[in-house]
Structure 1
Amino acid sequence: MLGNAWSLYLTEGAPPKSKLLIEIYKLKPRPVKSISWNDEIDGREIGVQYIYCCGSTINFEPTKLLDSRGVYLVRVVGGGVKEQYVTELY
């Protein structure tokens, strides 16, 4: 890891990183309702440069340092995992 890791903790073991697709979006407006998997994302996608899985934890790093305020949508799919969440840096 390069020092900018984000994490997702699962109730079961994490799948191998080769089976995972992780997407991070910086959202333009703050969501006022839950975001569906079928919704078009109103924001800019930020790539993921590194994924590390250990036990029940998936650690991943965005391709660029996210040191600015903002609201982000994270989606993790693959190997039996289908999770998404919204987080805010402030």
Structure 2
Amino acid sequence: MGALLARARGGVVICDVGGLGPPGLRHVELLARLQLTARRAGGRIRLRDADPALYALLDLVGLRFEAEGEVEEREPALGVEEEVEPGDAAV
């Protein structure tokens, strides 16, 4: 199946799935089992270097995994929005 590297960081397990090759149901089963184990231990899984086809297959069976570096839904996006009125002095 290829090497599946994982490391825990703050309750998050990072799984490098870049070298798994074409995704199949065996990958879905493995990731589902890993996710279940992580959740039972109070953690979660993030995927690194996943093929878009793997995400499509996981979505098809109803599984959702975060990608490493993905902004979590509960975190506010960073950035500043500012309105400029005509006639405002440049700073």
Query: Does TM, normalized by the shorter one, top 0.5?
Result: no
Q: Which has the larger radius of gyration?
A: 2
Q: TM-score category by the smaller chain?
A: under 0.3
Per the normalisation by structure 2, the TM-score is: 0.26
Per the normalisation by structure 1, the TM-score is: 0.26
Q: Which has the higher strand share?
A: 1
